[in-house]
Homo-oligomer: A and B are copies of this chain.
Amino acid sequence: MKEDIVKKSNLSSPSKKSQEGMTVKKEKDISEWYAEVVQKAELADYSPIKGFMIIRPNAYFIWEKIQENFNEYLKKKNIKNAYFPLLIPESFFRREAEHAKGFAPELAWIEKNSGEEGEKLAIRPTSETIIYDSFSKWIRSWRDLPLKINQWCNVLRWEVKQTKPFLRTREFLWQEGHCVYETEKECDAEVLEILGEYEKLCKELLAIPVLKGRKTKNEKFAGAYYTTTIEALMPDGKALQMGTSHNLGQGFAKAFNITFKDKNERIQTPWQSSWGISTRLIGAVILTHGDDRGLVLPPKVAPIQIAIVPILLGNKKKILKKAREIKKSLNEYSVELDEREEYTPGWKFAEYELKGVPLRIELGPKDLEKNQVVFVRRDDGSKEIVKIKDIRKKISDVFEKIHDSIYEKAKKFLYSSMIKTEKFADFAKAIEERKIALAPFCEGESCENSIKEKTLATSRLISNEKSRGKKCVNCGKSADFFVYFAKSY
């Protein structure tokens, strides 16, 4: 630890602030680095129960911003929030065979309580079944369609894979949207529109670029007609599924007896969609933007957007007075003015860097003389002298620059990590080197399993690029499209 960031005073250990800064380099061991950032930036804590996590306020804030952003969209689209029960009867899962098979291994069952009800109950891993039971009662006529419902809730999937805070936990928070349409066409259109909205949220709120497209049959949601996805690439070369939007076809509707009378009084089966994003996005923010000094947050989701650190030398009172004035003038932002005298400025710098605060404003005696402050950007460490009278109008500009800059950096990484190939050896080498491989693929289930066995990679999504007669990179059968493959979280 550098000299200037060691605290000076001999007061009792200030435990809230006792983190000693980061010790693991991101490049060296990203998994250890991630665990350290999550702990030291107070994002999450381990639960006494394996695979569960405690979402601490610094991370929950990001989730609230995601909720706020997406709720605005929902409102605009007249999609209504509602809440369905946590517990789902066993018979509901059985109705849609593929869905049942997909989720069976991950269900947590409730012990029969009070002996009053016969049926076994599971904690929801997703709510298609219990929601569609209600839909079958609510929908009678074409006038009831489209029906558009969203729910923010917790879900539980008893993962056997290694868990990791935010990225893979047995319980997580998410939103699940469920819509019912008269026609396939409407359903298709909105499945894609929602996916586009997810892409936009990742780009504009979280500064994360994603690839967007359809999943192969192997990777689609259990019970879906088809699944579309957005995928980001983490710095360790693993893809992360950021959100999915499914066209469920008519399978659930048939399983749950959802029908409607059309305008000609004929009984019809509707089309359905479901779609979701989860607290996993918080993990993506941490992994994508963080560096060796800790968290780096996009300004729009930072609990503290600006840290004002007065350099308390000379006329302290005068400096503090000005610092307070500056803080007051920035009341549309979340600003922390750090007046503590028992820590050196250097110690404070390290603390706000660890926490990912996008902008630091330094104000020392010489600055005060010159009516200026120093802006220090968290993302690239760049400094800029700013006249005090210009601070307010400068900030939105700086925030925009930070956002764009971390987005562009991530985008550059994503696109420079793609290897396009038609040869299996190159394909395998790309995966080995933690890249995304883009190759013609037959979309066969057994071929995909064979690729996974050989390389540990799974298909992430089907690109828009037709393969025009090219053969599948693995089996040599005919391939319709180029498909992205990568290892994944």
With A54-B85, A82-B55 already in contact, the answer to whether A110 and B113 are too (CB < 8 A) is no
Give A137 to B111 CA distance when docked, in angstroms.
31
Give A238 to B121 CA distance when docked, in angstroms.
33
A82 x B111 contact (CB < 8 A): no
Residues of B within 8 A of A116 (CB): 50
8 A Cβ contacts from A113-158 to B: 113-114, 116-117, 121, 123, 130, 133-134, 137-144, 149, 153-154, 156, 158
Q: Taking the complex as formed, is A331 at the interface, i.e. its CB lies under 8 A from any CB of chain B?
A: no
Residues of B within 8 A of A57 (CB): 80-82, 149
Give A141 to B86 CA distance when docked, in angstroms.
38
Max chain B Cβ within 10 angstroms of own Cβ: one of A47, A55, A63, A158: A47
Give A160 to B50 CA distance when docked, in angstroms.
31
B121 x A49 contact (CB < 8 A): yes
- Other-chain contact of A140, B13, B64, B121 (Cβ < 8 Å): B13
- Other-chain contact of A154, B86, B117, B139 (Cβ < 8 Å): B86
- Other-chain contact of A81, B60, B123, B138, B171 (Cβ < 8 Å): B60
Give A138 to B45 CA distance when docked, in angstroms.
10
Give A55 to B111 CA distance when docked, in angstroms.
25
Residues of B within 8 A of A92 (CB): 48
Residues of B within 8 A of A89 (CB): 48-49
Residues of B within 8 A of A173 (CB): 83
With A52-B85, A133-B48 already in contact, the answer to whether A140 and B15 are too (CB < 8 A) is yes
**A143, chain B: closest CB distance, angstroms:** 5
Q: Taking the complex as formed, is A56 at the interface, i.e. its CB lies under 8 A from any CB of chain B?
A: yes
Q: Taking the complex as formed, is A14 at the interface, i.e. its CB lies under 8 A from any CB of chain B?
A: yes
- Other-chain contact of A86, B45, B48, B156 (Cβ < 8 Å): B156
With A83-B60, A134-B54 already in contact, the answer to whether A265 and B12 are too (CB < 8 A) is yes
Q: Taking the complex as formed, is A222 at the interface, i.e. its CB lies under 8 A from any CB of chain B?
A: no
**A164, chain B: closest CB distance, angstroms:** 15
- Other-chain contact of A12, B17, B141, B149, B153 (Cβ < 8 Å): B141
B137 x A45 contact (CB < 8 A): yes
Q: Taking the complex as formed, is A413 at the interface, i.e. its CB lies under 8 A from any CB of chain B?
A: no
Whose C-beta in chain B lies nearest to the C-beta of A63?
B83
Residues of B within 8 A of A138 (CB): 45
Give A116 to B108 CA distance when docked, in angstroms.
13
Whose C-beta in chain B lies nearest to the C-beta of A111?
B109
Q: How many copies does the complex hold?
A: 2
Interface string of A9-52 (1 = CB under 8 A from B): 00011111110000000000000000000000000010111101
Interface string of A85-115 (1 = CB under 8 A from B): 1110100100000000000000011110110
Whose C-beta in chain B lies nearest to the C-beta of A147?
B16
Residues of B within 8 A of A143 (CB): 12, 14-17
Give A144 to B15 CA distance when docked, in angstroms.
7
Whose C-beta in chain B lies nearest to the C-beta of A119?
B49
Max chain B Cβ within 10 angstroms of own Cβ: one of A60, A154, A160: A60
Q: Taking the complex as formed, is A261 at the interface, i.e. its CB lies under 8 A from any CB of chain B?
A: yes
Q: Taking the complex as formed, is A70 at the interface, i.e. its CB lies under 8 A from any CB of chain B?
A: no
Q: Taking the complex as formed, is A263 at the interface, i.e. its CB lies under 8 A from any CB of chain B?
A: yes
Residues of B within 8 A of A47 (CB): 84-85, 130
Residues of B within 8 A of A85 (CB): 47, 49, 52-54, 171
**A29, chain B: closest CB distance, angstroms:** 24
Give A16 to B139 CA distance when docked, in angstroms.
8
* A–B Cβ pairs within 8 angstroms, 10 of them: A12-B261, A14-B141, A15-B144, A16-B144, A18-B140, A45-B138, A61-B80, A83-B173, A86-B154, A108-B113
Smallest CB-CB A-B distances: 9 pairs: A15-B140, A57-B80, A55-B83, A52-B85, A109-B111, A47-B85, A14-B143, A16-B144, A15-B141
Chain A residues close to B by CB (< 8 Å):
12-18, 45, 47-50, 52-57, 60-61, 63-64, 80-87, 89, 92, 108-111, 113-114, 116-117, 121, 123, 130, 133-134, 137-144, 149, 153-154, 156, 158, 160, 171, 173, 261, 263, 265
17 new A-B contacts, CB < 8 A, other than A15-B139, A48-B89, are A15-B141, A16-B140, A17-B143, A45-B134, A45-B138, A48-B92, A49-B89, A49-B117, A54-B134, A57-B81, A60-B82, A64-B81, A86-B171, A109-B110, A109-B111, A110-B111, A153-B154
